[in-house]
Amino acid sequence: MADGKKKIPKLSYPMPQQDPKERIKNFDEVALGYDMEVAIKEAERCLQCKREEGKEICIDGCPVEIDIPAFIKCIREERMEDALNIIREKNNLPAICGRVCPQEQQCQKYCRLGKGKGRDPVSIGRLERFVVDYSVKKQSVDPLKKKDKKVAIIGSGPAGLTAAGDLAKLGYNVTIFEALHDTGGVLRYGIPEFRLPKSIVDREVEYIKKLGVNIETNVVVGKTIGMDELIDEYDAVFVGSGAGSPMFMNIPGENLNGIYSANEFLTRINLMKAYKFPEYDTPIKVGKVTAVIGGGNVAMDASRCALRAGAERSMIIYRRTEEEMPARKEEVEHAKEEGVEFHILTNPVRYIGDEKGNVKQIECIKMELGEPDESGRRRPVPIKGSEFLMDVDTVVVAIGNTPNPLIPDNTKGLKISKKGTIVVDDNGKTSIDKVYAGGDITTGAATVISAMGAGKKAARAIDKFLSS
Amino acid sequence: MKNYDIKKRKTLAENIKLFEIEAPLIAKNAKPGNFVILRIDDHGERIPVTITDSDVENGTITIVVQEVGKTTKKLGMLNEGDKILDVVGPLGRETEIKNYGTVVCIGGGVGIALIYPEIKAFKKAGNYVISIVGSRTKDLMIFEEEISKMSDEFYITTDDGTKGRKGFVSDVLKELIDDGKKIDIVMAVGPIIMMKVVADVTRPYGIKTIVSLNPIMIDGTGMCGGCRVQVGGNTMFACVDGPDFDAHQVDFDNLIARNKRFLEEEKVSLEGLKNG
């Protein structure tokens, strides 16, 4: 425990941010990060708890079990390289985790300091981010001893990159096959620049490559190469192909012009840089009034992108209340600061278009909350006769994604659940001997960090399988 | 796998060019009906292009592209030995090829080249193949020799009557039907309006008709729904559920409207290219 006489500030040190009025005019990162001085002060708030039987601390809340007190101690002592090495030991993508993990539900939830009344937990995510950003130029990789075994990884999202990094560190020859022209999966096409700069994704992917991982873009497994070929040619295969298939509500008018899935909207903006059209060739059309349907992080991202891409008004339409929103509190706050309007307990019923086939109105219905459903959240029930019209130019449907069916459909003998996910055991092993899977393809749409945790677990299992 | 070299480039007609591109994995797995998505350079957009032919031995695929906007014009400026940054495929479901009996294959405009792989495959599967190809004028007629070689009957139409008969491909189809020709299946590839008219011609006779749809695409792997089309009242993703669909079920008007989504932006983009 820390010295009892030393007074620990109750609140964590805030991280500087771009002013909302300014930031809605650009795609630059909103959160600007700690500097050394503040990072050390924040690090000094840490109680340096020890991990003991029956006592849960921050490490227990981290899906990849980073030794958090140890790296924080290094920050205090200004040993940044050591701090980075401690983080890297467990986490291949720390600059990303420090930015997009919901720490309030993970490490910081377990922080013992934060259990005290009126006290903030240590800002572990901000410190992790500081260490990696600070040490970026000093990332060296020791030459690794290679084994003579090959592992194929399908998908370069968080699950695939993590599994690849861990397996490379163990000496395996790893090749990642990626369907898009660029790496990162949702880190690249989904999460916008202002939350996760693509230069950060590039940097983390570079690190994975330095570990000796070979990445082949423009390869759609199941089309460009058969799954059976990979199973033949490699000693093991890891499927991390994600849940990238967008859901629509199947209500009248949903195919009118101006209505995008969140995946299309965000892919055009993030992957194709349509916000820089015509410097970049991919166009996007964002009208004056944009409505985003849904209440998750993806909906927040889309609503905030719309403002930056020129919408005068950006609205969230969500069928439950703010309490049930799956989006991180911080993201909801950021969206509100930027002027996104929230229409809760509201659900679209149909879309109305003009003579050219462009959407011009949404008919919505008011909802109330009924009994809890299988997710534990109270079920929204439409209020009869409460229909009303809203004028809109652009609609983004962000109600969720389902697993991409390409691999399940093209792999003989692979056990698939009713929801289209690949069935795996506790170690990420599928119904086929050499094939492992993890991330959204096994769970349905979830978080970046849970995908990374699954990639890590599968890498361990693959190593065990190949070592026996 | 950055070996998308242009091995051969040939001008087939004004604004229509053929490219042979080195892409061994795609060549190995390509089937009639498949397409690729390509991106020319770092600032480029992703566009879908049908695979017209593939050569497994040389590891090349052939595409035929009509220059209609910035990206296709930029592609047209590339020469043999130049590289295309990204080519991914083969994408989409393959055309269902079997021995139907008598097959009528209809190609319009650049669609003449795009239906060539199906004509070849239908012939190989033992069908009696009737090909009807149409262009605006004789100078735009392409793939004449290749298709005529593979067809049991071959008809050419031009809008202005400068080659073959004057009129539209659908006129010939209608005549064949009126003459009592036994037709088991019709496949049409070309401008949406042409495919729509073909569907209208065959519908009253209940002749099975397949069209290859050409909506706007981005990823081409089922990830975004940019290419969604209404078929039989359901929403389908052309890139993974198609691009072939039952023509009698397709909402062509919705497709026409959706393909005009970015008309203004496309003009801006093209102007930008012209002005350097």
A332 has pLDDT over 70: yes
A85 has pLDDT over 80: yes
Give chain B's mean pLDDT.
96
| Mutation to test the B interface, candidates A176, A202, A220, A267, most B Cβ within 10 Å | A220
On the CB side of A183, CA atoms within 13 Å amount to 27
Average pLDDT for A354-361: 96
Inter-chain contact B219–A254, Cβ cutoff 8 Å?
no
Inter-chain contact A224–B29, Cβ cutoff 8 Å?
yes
The percentage of chain A sitting over the pLDDT mark of 70, rounded to a whole number, equals 98
Residues of B in contact with A245 (CB under 8 A): 222-223
CATH topology assigned to domain B4-91: Elongation Factor Tu (Ef-tu); domain 3 (2.40.30)
Inter-chain contact B25–A224, Cβ cutoff 8 Å?
yes
The reported pLDDT for the residue numbered A398 is 97
DSSP SS3 for A293: strand
A375 has pLDDT over 80: no
Residue B223 near residue A267, CB atoms below 8 Å: yes
Give the residue on A whose Cα is nearest the Cα of B44. A281
Chain A residues whose C-beta is within 8 A of a chain B C-beta are: 179-181, 189, 216-220, 223-226, 244-246, 248, 250, 254-255, 257-258, 260-261, 263-264, 267-268, 272-273, 277-283, 285, 356-357, 404-406
Average pLDDT for A308-322: 96
Confidence grade of residue B274 (pLDDT, cut at 50, 70, 90): confident
B132 has pLDDT over 80: yes
- Rounded to the nearest angstrom, the minimum Cα separation between B75 and chain A is 13
CATH 2.60.40.420 fits A20-134, yes or no: no
CATH topology assigned to domain A246-397: FAD/NAD(P)-binding domain (3.50.50)
Q: Look up residue A69 and give its two tokens.
A: 């007190």
Confidence grade of residue A406 (pLDDT, cut at 50, 70, 90): confident
Give the residue on A whose Cα is nearest the Cα of B3. A218
Average pLDDT for B110-127: 97
DSSP SS3 for A189: helix
Please give the Cα distance from A75 to A60 (Å, whole number). 21
- Rounded to the nearest angstrom, the minimum Cα separation between A295 and chain B is 19
A367 has pLDDT over 50: yes
Residue B209 near residue B198, CB atoms below 8 Å: yes
Selected from 3.40.50.80, 3.40.50.970, 3.60.21.10, 3.40.50.300, the CATH number assigned to the domain covering B102-259 reads 3.40.50.80
| Mutation to test the A interface, candidates B26, B43, B70, B258, most A Cβ within 10 Å | B43
A312-338 in b/e form (b: 16+ CB < 10 A) is: ebbbbbbbbbeebbbbbebbbebbebb
Comparing CB atoms, the residue among A277, A281, A404 nearest residue B71 is A281
- Residue A160: other Cβ atoms inside 10 A: 33
Q: What would you report as the CA-atom Rg of chain B, rounded to the nearest whole angstrom?
A: 18
In sign, the C-alpha dihedral spanning A329, A334, A335, A339 is positive
Confidence grade of residue A52 (pLDDT, cut at 50, 70, 90): confident
Inter-chain contact B222–A245, Cβ cutoff 8 Å?
yes
Of A235-249, A281-295, A443-457, B6-20, least confident by mean pLDDT is A443-457
Give chain A's mean pLDDT.
93
The reported pLDDT for the residue numbered B3 is 72
Comparing CB atoms, the residue among B71, B230, B260 nearest residue A255 is B230
A150-244+403-467 shares its CATH topology with A246-397: yes
Annotated binding site of B for [2Fe-2S] cluster: 224, 227, 239
A300 has pLDDT over 90: yes
CATH topology assigned to domain A150-244+403-467: FAD/NAD(P)-binding domain (3.50.50)
Comparing CB atoms, the residue among B1, B45, B223 nearest residue A245 is B223
Give the residue on A whose Cα is nearest the Cα of B276. A279
Residue B80 near residue B7, CB atoms below 8 Å: yes
Model confidence pLDDT, tens digit, residues B10-23: 999 999 999 999 99
Annotated binding site of B for FAD: 64-66
For chain A, the domains span: 20-134, 150-244+403-467, 246-397
Residues of B in contact with A255 (CB under 8 A): 228-230, 235, 254, 258
Model confidence pLDDT, tens digit, residues A163-193: 999 999 999 999 999 999 999 999 999 999 9
Average pLDDT for B112-141: 97
Residues of B in contact with A180 (CB under 8 A): 88, 219, 221
Residue A130 near residue A174, CB atoms below 8 Å: no
Closest CA to A83 of A133, A10, A33: A133
Give the residue on B whose Cα is nearest the Cα of A253. B254
The reported pLDDT for the residue numbered A1 is 46
Question: Omega of the bond prior to B243 within 30 degrees of 0, cis?
Answer: yes
Give the residue on A whose Cα is nearest the Cα of B268. A278
A139 has pLDDT over 80: no
For chain B, the domains span: 4-91, 102-259
Comparing CB atoms, the residue among A281, A285, A406 nearest residue B44 is A281
Inter-chain contact A246–B272, Cβ cutoff 8 Å?
no
Residues of A in contact with B43 (CB under 8 A): 273, 279-281
The reported pLDDT for the residue numbered B33 is 96
Residues of A in contact with B268 (CB under 8 A): 277-278
Inter-chain contact B262–A283, Cβ cutoff 8 Å?
yes
CB contacts < 8 A (A, B): 125
B1 has pLDDT over 60: no
How do strand A346-353 and strand A378-382 relate by DSSP bridges? unpaired
A135 has pLDDT over 90: no
